[in-house]
Structure 1
Amino acid sequence: MAISLALKAIAIWIAILMLAMANGFLREFVLMPRFGTPAALVLSGLLLSALILGVAYLSLPWVKPEAPIQYWLVGFGWLALTLVFEFSFGLGQGKSWSVMLEAYSFKGGNLWPVVLAVTALAPYLAAKLRGWL
């Protein structure tokens, strides 16, 4: 049962990753040229947070966590996968740790820390919205 939950959670995280990449393209090629960097970062962060919460809400019936702790495990699993992906991708591009860690501040309208918090909390919040908890 735990392996099935983990595999489903990973599959959903891959979908979230694809949405995050599309959101990044939208931010870079549409929002930034039209609104400037600070506004684009805020809009992109809010959009990605909403998308993550929406995916969690829609996917919960498929995942079927059986206990409240499983909502937290899925959310923090998504957070861990995101962090591993982000730092691995950054290191692969030759970025320094200091450059990569700049994304974890609210500098210039950046909402990445909020997106990470939503990622961790999304399954629990989605279950609350569904009235399951």
Structure 2
Amino acid sequence: MLTVVALKALVIWFGILVLAVANGVLRESVLAPAFGTPAALVLSGLLLSALIIGVAYFSLPWLHISRPLVLCIVGLGWFVLTLVFEFSFGLWQGNSLSELLEAYTFKGGNIWPVVLAATALAPYIAAKLRGWV
């Protein structure tokens, strides 16, 4: 049972990854030119957080979990996968570790830590919204 949940959660995370990439394209091509980088980062972060919670909300019936501990484990898994992807991809692109860590400082409108918190809490928040916990 746990393996099935883990595989389903991984599939859902890949969907979140696709949405995150699309969100980045939207931010750079539409939001930043229209509103400037700081506002675009805030809008993009809020949008991505909402999308992640929305994905969690709509995917919970497929995951078929409602126990708070399992919801938290799934959220933590998504959080870890996101960090691993973010740092691996950033380092592969030639960014330094200090450049990557700058996203965690809230400088210039970057609210990446809020997005990470939303990612970690999304399954639990979605279950609360559904009245499951």
Runs of 4+ in 1 over 4 A off after TM superposition: none
Residue 66 (structure 1) shift: 4.9
Q: Is 1:74–2:105 an aligned residue pair?
A: no
Q: Output the amino acid matched with 1:30.
A: V
CA distance in 1, matches of 2:38, 2:95: 22
Identify unmatched segments of 5+ residues in structure 1.
Answer: none
Give the structure 2 partner of residue 32 of structure 1: 32
CA distance in 1, matches of 2:21, 2:37: 17
Q: Is the 8 A contact 2:57 2:123 kept in 1?
A: yes
CA distance in 2, matches of 1:67, 1:40: 36
Identify unmatched segments of 5+ residues in structure 2.
Answer: none
Residue 67 (structure 1) shift: 2.2
Give the structure 1 partner of residue 21 of structure 2: 21
Using structure 2 for the length normalisation, give the TM-score: 0.98
Report the number of matched residues: 133
Q: Is the 8 A contact 2:23 2:44 kept in 1?
A: yes
What is the percentage of aligned positions where both structures have the same residue?
71
Using structure 1 for the length normalisation, give the TM-score: 0.98
Give the structure 1 partner of residue 41 of structure 2: 41
Q: Is 1:52–2:47 an aligned residue pair?
A: no
